[in-house]
Amino acid sequence: FQGIFVLGLPYALLHSGYSGLFLVILAAALCCYTGKILITCLYEENEDGQLIRVRDTYEDIANACCKNLSPKLGGIVVNVTQVMELIMTCILYLVVSGNLLSHSFPYVPMTEKTWSVIAFVTLLPCVFIKTLKIVSKLSQLCSLVHFIIILVVMTYCLTQIHQWSWAKFRLSIEFEDFLVSVGVIIFSYTSQIFLPTLEGNMKNPGEFKCMLNWTHFLACVLKTTFALTAFLTWGEETKEVITDNLPSFLQTLVNLCLLTKALLSYPLPFFAATEIVYACISRGNHSNYRSPLSALGVRGSFLLLTLLMAMFIPHFALLMGLTGSVTGAAMTFLLPSLFHLKLKWKKLSFLEKCADISVFILGFLCSLAGIVCSIKGLLEAFG
């Protein structure tokens, strides 16, 4: 939850004003809710009224919902959507790494693409990752680096507390700028792709909902505190990535920390994407690789694909926005609420049905607005 997106939250407050603070809280509540109902869809009651886990993945849930149309249609749609979003996330980390390296060492005569290749070389060991335990250790280090970055920014902001003023907040907002803020805030909480695997790997899955409540609550508190502190410090001068506002002597340190964070963040979406693809290739047997050479081939191909796309796709940020608007909203809001209604309709109360329908409508509107803004930006970019 405390990913690179967090560094864009002060900029989101610049364009959304007081409503942005409300959105940070609302997004946490909605994403926590859709995470819970998604996991609920993995379970069914047996004859004794006990909940039994009858599905393992997002794909299984989709197949159960679409079995009357086609036994595998739902799974194909979900898998394609998941893999697209995960690949684009991996590519983003490579692009960011190249950008950070070029800014950290401006005196070295190399392009951003060359730096991206160097970053790619450090990620080659990812082809040997076989279990989620290794990924979790890397994610733990990633979290540590992230908190160092947040600590540096927050400490500097607190030294400028004499300049803070609530007058910097906007009361009126422009609709298009507001939509950009909505996208940044909502998608900084998304984690639904990983939840079925995470819940399945927990020692005590019964604690999942409690874990989800605490992580979303803490993420909300940290995001609000960080975004508010940074925005009150720089106001109208707040940049898209808040670390660009720091003095030069701190920027290099923070850029190197961000680089470390980006490289440590890469294995999680990479592992998830390769697991999905290999599960399809090996007919669902993704817990144990039957052919180590085949597994290496899948992971190696994915690594190379992310590098090639990072180097040759023009206007990557706009394409990322378009993909995120389609896949992010679908996986976070549209599909969990739709699947929950489909599988649990007879057991849901009236209020639960209303909640699911409201989340679906909100997700659809967010997705539509994001698509329109991204396409408009692409058309302007291509002249």
Pick from 353, 2, 35: nearest CA to 213: 35
Q: At 169, which amino acid appears?
A: F
Look at residue 172 in the predicted model and tell me its pLDDT.
63
52 phi and psi angles, rounded to 5 deg: -120, 135
Q: Which domain holds residue 313?
A: 5-382
Q: Is 45 helix (H, G, I), strand (E, B) or coil?
A: strand
Q: Which residues contact 154 (CB under 8 A, 6 or more apart)?
A: 225, 226, 229, 230
Q: How many angstroms separate the CA atoms of 269 and 88, rounded?
A: 9
Q: Side chain identity at 159, as an amino acid letter?
A: T
User: Residues 126-165, buried b or exposed e (16+ Cβ, 10 A)?
Assistant: bbebeebeebeebeeebbebbeebbebbbebbeeeeeebe
Q: Which contiguous run of DSSP H or E holds residue 335? A: helix 335-344
pLDDT at 156: 93
pLDDT for the residue numbered 82: 84
Interatomic CA distance for residues 333 and 360, integer angstroms: 6
Transcribe 136-173 into DSSP letters.
HHHHHHHHHHHHHHHHHHHHHHHHTGGG--GGGS-SS-
Question: CATH code at 133?
Answer: 1.20.1740.10
User: In angstroms, rounded to a whole number, what is the distance separating the alpha carbons of residues 332 and 29?
Assistant: 12
Query: How many domains does one find in the chain?
Result: 1
| Residue pLDDT, tens place only, 44-61 | 988 887 889 999 888 889
Sign of the CA dihedral 219, 247, 91, 23?
positive
Q: Per-residue confidence of the chain (383 residues) as pLDDT tens digits?
A: 666 668 778 888 888 888 888 888 998 999 999 999 999 999 998 888 788 999 988 888 999 998 888 878 888 888 888 888 888 888 888 888 888 888 788 888 888 889 889 999 999 999 988 888 888 888 889 888 988 888 899 999 999 998 888 877 776 667 777 777 777 787 778 888 889 888 988 889 999 999 999 999 999 998 999 999 999 999 888 887 788 888 888 888 888 898 999 899 899 889 888 888 887 777 645 444 456 777 788 889 999 999 998 888 766 666 666 676 777 788 889 999 999 999 999 899 999 999 999 999 988 887 887 778 777 777 777 76
pLDDT of residue 67: 84
Question: Tokens 């995001």 label which residue?
Answer: 223
Backbone angles phi, psi at 44, to 5 degrees: -135, 155
Question: CA Rg, the chain, in Å?
Answer: 21
β-partners of residue 43 are 53
pLDDT at 41: 94
Contact (Cβ atoms closer than 8 angstroms) between residue 2 and residue 146: yes
- Report the DSSP pairing between strands 43-45 and 51-53: antiparallel
Q: How many CB atoms lie within 10 A of CB 46?
A: 10
One-letter amino acid at 228 equals L
What pLDDT, on a 0 to 100 scale, did the predictor assign at position 289? 47
| Helical (H) or strand (E) element with 51 | strand 51-53
| The predicted structure's pLDDT at residue 286 | 45
